[in-house]
Structure 1
Amino acid sequence: MISMELVFKLGRSSLLLILVFCLTLTGCEESTNFRAPADRGVKFEELNQSEIPRELVVGVVWSVGDGKFVEGARLAVEEINAKKEGEEFRYRLVVVDENEYSTLAGFDRLSEGKYRNASQRLAQRLAKEFSLDPDIVAVIGHSDKYNTALPAALSYQDNGILFLSSASTDPQMGHLDSPLTFQLSSPDSWLAEQMADYIISRNFQNMLVLFSRDRKSANFVEFLQKSIQRSSASVVIHQQSVPYRYLRGGDWSDFDTTSIIASLTKAANDKKIDSVLIVSDMAITASIIKGSKDFGFKLPFIVMPATSNERFISDVGEPGVGTVMPTSVDQSTPHFKQFSKRFVKYTKGASPDASAALGYDSIYLLNEAMEKANSSKPLHVSLTLQYTMPPWTGASGTFGFLENGANNHRKYFFTRLVKTDSGELQFRPEDKAKEGG
């Protein structure tokens, strides 16, 4: 008998080899070797069809107000449950708002040294919400707002919960060697490669990169620098950090944008800067762009992807026209257009954003894997996602996973903020982003 502790220390490929070997043995059908530590989930063939349909409980973690991820997930559950008329189980969501626990975790006191681990504290608090519930078989979500996905993944693994990390782009997710963790969005290192290609294709020569002094932002700048160097392109990257922000009284602290604008203007003149990339959160990014245009700064801006570009548009306003933003969701595809129609009807008029499509796809991807595994047991579903399920395409793109759990089918599309003839501000694909169009 293989011990449970050993199974969860093995890598993904080793687990597959053991599973194949196990299936050749007599009586393996009843083996408990591949059950999660908390014995979550059930094989569907074990369900008694005469019983009341069983609920499969899925946790959803998101920052309410930061996109429409939760609404997308709820729409998917409503559609799937409607199709399961007379079948053995239904999905039920348990939604937890990251914002509710941010103060308890110390995000309002980040300027104090002992609260630098606020992300880990918040992740542990969020994971505890689900680990104590034996009916939870999977968790989806975790926005990038508080950087909780990486530490939470370890807690979910320890408690035998499947984790579909919907929004995290942290490259370290791929180094966890966690059989129960899957990264649906591509790592920052992949975005950096595509960002470098975009910069080179636009013939930028001297770019100023403004970045926040957190680990992920600094790592992205390093990835970008290396990607440009590998291309042998003659692009010079000038780096400058922006002040640190922290929560104070429930609101993010402000910083002096005037000094940043002054440095932008000086760099444009002294170093012949022809473009600016901002690697920071959306509030800082919008503040810098808005302030720079007020001071007459005219160089083009490139920003990082946002889970809710509607909020960014609202914050930056008309000064943001011309800003380029990469997105992982191609809204021109038939899959997204069909989803958009259903989402608008479901929400009574709200348009879906990238996070809504990710929430919707997270549930459908989970359901697809469970049906193919004929089980809701986390490790059964994990092995199916990893080894036997072909790439699956949804509203937000295609999903298929590498050995380390990273999605191998994500790419970015570059969009530009324009003002339409009707006066509306919209992000449109670069080839269609003609102002007034």
Structure 2
Amino acid sequence: MTDRFDVVVVGAGSAGSVLADALTRGGTRTVLLLEQGPGWPDDAVRSLQRLPIGSGEPHATPVPEASGLPVVRGRGLGGSSAVNGAYFLRRHRDDFDDWPAGWDLDTVEAAYAELDGPHGRMSASPFGDDELGDTAIAFESFWRTRIPVRPPGDPWPIVGLNRVVSNRRDGLRMTSAEAFLRPAIGRPGLTVRTGVTVGEVLVVDGRVTGVRTASGDIACGEVILCAGTLGTAGILLRSGGLSVPRTLGVGEHREILVGYRRRQETSAADLPALLQSVVHTESGVEIRCYSDDFGRYIGGVSGRRPVIGVCGMRPAGTGQVFLDDTGEVRLHLDDPERVVLQTLSAIADDVRDMLASSEFAGIVESGSIMIDPTVGTSQHAWGTMPMGVATDGAGVVDGVRGLRIVDGSILPGDGRSGPHATTMMVAYRVGETLA
């Protein structure tokens, strides 16, 4: 081992960029931030009119799923925050009822506010009325008189109609790397290396000594894994000296899509952000008003149609993460439980009725509404090493000195919103305790 650092942070995505900023702010540590993917994504990648996750995209990588469902994770500086839908909703207040000690609601509120508050670093705010596409306008018109509506100034989602909070600026995703890593570049204690794959954590006698990369070993006093839920799982499963099961459980939000044909296609120049409004139901379902055909955002995907998503958030779906015979990460998602399928199917029927309503008459072609029989995935993976079970409340891995996980892997329980904002909230809070 020729290099030696106080801390190695693995992954420069939604969590790793936050940790790199916090750990180097005081100037007392040497920190190496390693990222498998490329460097800074350009404006074409960050545009809200694109989802750059198709085949061959440099800032996305596929993860094989046993039944063939498409699963893609972000890579490069900013990780998935550079390629996702820029949806930045908090979990609901009562989603934190069973979190471990140290995560009381006041603490959680303060950490979220540093990200999505009026002066938050993620430039997050609800989409404005003038930003809504015609589908979102019709969606909100339909639901507004039927269910509660979240007040404009309330940062917490409710059971009811929720305008999506989005991390964006000037039509571009505000990535974690732009918000946290770029201001830290140039600090004498921070070294950033892209294009580096970490294979495993090195452990001797129950203590971390470094990481192994394709180009050699790197010594350090502490390793913080921020490689994303699936990436971190692969590193853990390949590492010797850890008491980690050979198969890790994982959470996922399973989704049914209700498709239709548009009477008139939106011009490419006027394509709105993908997801601008959602409904959260008492039964733990999120109804997602996608603005248009996914293929128009991803590119290179044809034969699709605009859809509304019906997604089981709480209880969430389950699955397993494991290594194949070549040491690569694989994912198996379990079939949803019967009661969950019944709930999703019933709400999909409600969505079909919504699309046939007068509010959508100018958008949806008559007779074109169809419920997809495939139960898909939200590209949300979390909870392989949850706090309070496999790690403590600050991500320290049980039984190993010098190893910490700070990414979606440690989120406990189910959440009725997507995990991105909550993953960053956890990273911010842990980072501040270490700064």
The TM-score bracket by the shorter chain reads: under 0.3
TM-score normalised to structure 1 length: 0.24
The TM-score normalised by the length of structure 2 is: 0.24
Greater RCO structure (CA 8 Å; 6+ sep): 2
Larger Rg: 1
- As a proportion of its length, which structure holds more helix? 1
